[in-house]
Amino acid sequence: MGILGGLDVGFGSNMQVVRTNYLCVKDGGAATTANAEKFLSLYNQHIMEQAAGNSGLLCDYILPMANQCSDAATTSSKSVIETINGSVMPVASQQANAVSNNGYGIISLLSVGAMEFTNVTLTAGAALASALDANAEIANGSLLVAMAGDTDGADGDVSAIADNLTSGMAKSLNLSGIVADLLAACGTGTVDLTHSSLTNFVEKGNATGASHTPLFTVGANSCGVISVTTLCGAGYL
């Protein structure tokens, strides 16, 4: 998650430009939150190794798009988004499925981009055509609607901001439109979040020096990345 802070503007360092990446996977069946967290770790290890340690595809959160985690009702996570349709997408390092307590409000949506991986080694991809809620004008208009306290989306504000418990302060994004487009683009490809590699997972750089778990083979066209850049304000109301 890239953050550019201390902007030389009226709000000073209270304003930050935040880039947030979401790994979106078409899972083959409901898995535990822990397994989803482990797959995110495997993905990030793999993508960094492919790019010699530096990649703009490193992801902050994982979103299983097909099935909610089997323990979603009882388990919270810092990195697993449990609303599978992408209606509540956190930014700025907050808990994935809890009300933000860090005081960050979303002032503006600056950009949205999405791609799907087209092979099993995650070394090739295709850009996703812009969805309605990836259009900056519509998305920011819906942000203003949410700031008025309207979060139900029933009035057609397809990019309405969710989790807006205080009128005037929006704290998460609704990207359900572009998530649906990415899920459709994946076709028949799936990621097995119940794979044995996740059950016997060994983290890279572990204290024992044991060999870490490599990324197992995933289905072609089974996952992708949505990247969002927002202008956020600390304590913005």
Closest CA to 23 of 117, 95, 112: 117
pTM of this prediction? 0.84
3-state secondary structure of 21: strand
Task: Report the distance separating Cα 222 and Cα 28, nearest Å.
Answer: 9
Task: Report the distance separating Cα 197 and Cα 215, nearest Å.
Answer: 8
Task: Report the distance separating Cα 171 and Cα 178, nearest Å.
Answer: 19
Closest CA to 59 of 24, 96, 29, 84: 24
Look up the domain containing 190 and give its range. Answer: 2-234
Model confidence pLDDT, tens digit, residues 98-147: 554 555 678 888 888 899 999 999 999 999 876 655 556 666 776 777 67
Phi, psi of 47 (to 5 degrees): -70, -30
Residues 6+ apart with CB under 8 A from 102: 92, 93, 94, 234
When divided into structural domains, the chain yields a total of 1
Q: Are 18 and 230 in contact (CB under 8 A)?
A: yes
Percentage with pLDDT > 90 across the chain:
33
End-to-end CA distance of the chain: 23
Check the CA dihedral 227-232-235-237 and report its sign: negative
At residue 38 the predicted structure's pLDDT band, cuts being 50, 70 and 90, is: very high
What is the predicted pLDDT for the residue at 153? 46
At residue 42 the predicted structure's pLDDT band, cuts being 50, 70 and 90, is: very high
